[in-house]
Amino acid sequence: MTIGEALKSLRLHADMTQTEMAAGIVTESFYSKVERGVHAIDADVLIKILTIHHFDVTRFFAQISNQQSTEPYFDLAGQIVYAQNKKDLKALDKIKQKIEKGGVQPYPLWLKYGLELAYAWVLHSNDQISPKMRKRIKSLILNENWDRTSYHFLSQAVIFLDIDDAKELVNSAYAAYHKHPAIDTFTLQFVALIAVNYLNCCYHNGVDKSYVESSFKFLHDLPPEPAIGLNKLLGLLYEAIFDKNVSKIKELKEIIKS
């Protein structure tokens, strides 16, 4: 499966036009040629397209590089992403029934992980995460050497964790980044996403401001890179929410909508 074929599959499962998928990052004409294999696409541009639509970047590249083992499940993975983006719990329930029913071979762990992750973000809760999956995810994060891949993994998996565990690991990731700062687009997007997704978890857990102050500072201190501009704005929005600054919340929401 080529990058163009994989993008087309994701787009169709997300029920988007090529113009919507291009998202103004590239022209519809250029994007169409990428899908058809006429044009190559720069890695940074590809990441921006995947990120703006909340597609799992790491999984996308894993499926491209290891298509023989993952391709049979590619359509189902796309259905999970589509249901998550649409907040469609009924669709997720149907996929869950299919996975639990099984097939000729057991469904892979990464697919089950993706399903539980989708439930967690749609419900803004980790209550439905199985103890086995929660324990496994925590052990994977604790054993990670911080790099681009592990930053991305934590940004997605932070919702699996109890909020106190999440706070500890997120601050560990910030410290690791400050020790070895990187300014490439991929790493910046992933570490910024850690902060934003963690702030989302904090908001829905109703914690006090002591849980989030380091994340506000971390986002503020990241370089002024256009690729993380939205994440920085979301950080300011969460800060206004925790400060109960109604006028600032309204102002930032208008900016983000535009």
- Determine the structural domain holding residue 39 and report its residue range: 1-123
The answer to whether residues 250 and 201 belong to one domain is yes
In angstroms, the CA 240 to CA 231 distance is: 14
Q: Is residue 132 part of a domain?
A: no
The answer to whether residues 195 and 224 belong to one domain is yes
Q: Is residue 162 part of a domain?
A: yes
The answer to whether residues 221 and 109 belong to one domain is no
Note whether 129 and 120 are within 8 A (CB): yes
Q: Is residue 79 part of a domain?
A: yes
The pLDDT value given to residue 252: 95
Q: Is residue 130 part of a domain?
A: no
The pLDDT value given to residue 1: 64
Note whether 141 and 172 are within 8 A (CB): no
The answer to whether residues 117 and 174 belong to one domain is no
The answer to whether residues 149 and 87 belong to one domain is no
pLDDT over 70, % of the chain: 92
Instruction: Name the E strands within the chain.
Output: none
pLDDT per residue as tens digits for the range 204-252: 999 999 999 999 999 999 998 888 999 999 999 999 999 999 999 999 9
CB atoms within 10 A of CB 244: 8
Q: Is residue 57 part of a domain?
A: yes
Closest residue by Cα to residue 152 from 197, 183, 110, 108: 197
Q: Is residue 148 part of a domain?
A: yes
The pLDDT value given to residue 57: 77
Q: Which amino acid makes up residue 159?
A: I
- Higher pLDDT residue, 43 or 197? 197
The pLDDT value given to residue 68: 45
Q: In the chain, how many domains are there?
A: 2
Written as one string, the DSSP assignment of 199-229 is HHHHHHHT--GGGTHHHHHHHHHS---GGGH
The answer to whether residues 62 and 106 belong to one domain is yes
* Boundary-marking domain end, from 74, 95, 123: 123
The answer to whether residues 94 and 166 belong to one domain is no
Please determine, for residue 152, whether its predicted confidence score (pLDDT) is greater than 50: yes
Q: Is residue 92 part of a domain?
A: yes
The answer to whether residues 4 and 73 belong to one domain is yes
**Three-class secondary structure of residue 103 per DSSP:** coil
pLDDT per residue as tens digits for the range 131-146: 877 777 777 776 667 8
The pTM is what?
A: 0.70
The pLDDT value given to residue 3: 87
Q: Is residue 133 part of a domain?
A: no
* Boundary-marking domain end, from 123, 153, 178: 123
Q: Average of pLDDT values for 151-167?
A: 89
The answer to whether residues 21 and 102 belong to one domain is yes
pLDDT per residue as tens digits for the range 69-115: 445 677 787 788 888 888 899 999 999 998 888 765 677 777 888 88
The answer to whether residues 117 and 170 belong to one domain is no
The pLDDT value given to residue 103: 64
* Boundary-marking domain end, from 94, 123, 152: 123
Written as one string, the DSSP assignment of 11-35 is HHHTT--HHHHHTTTS-HHHHHHHH
The answer to whether residues 231 and 163 belong to one domain is yes
Range with the poorest average pLDDT among 12-16, 35-39, 117-121: 12-16
In angstroms, the CA 8 to CA 35 distance is: 6
In angstroms, the CA 153 to CA 155 distance is: 5
Terminal-to-terminal C-alpha distance of the chain: 36
The answer to whether residues 2 and 109 belong to one domain is yes
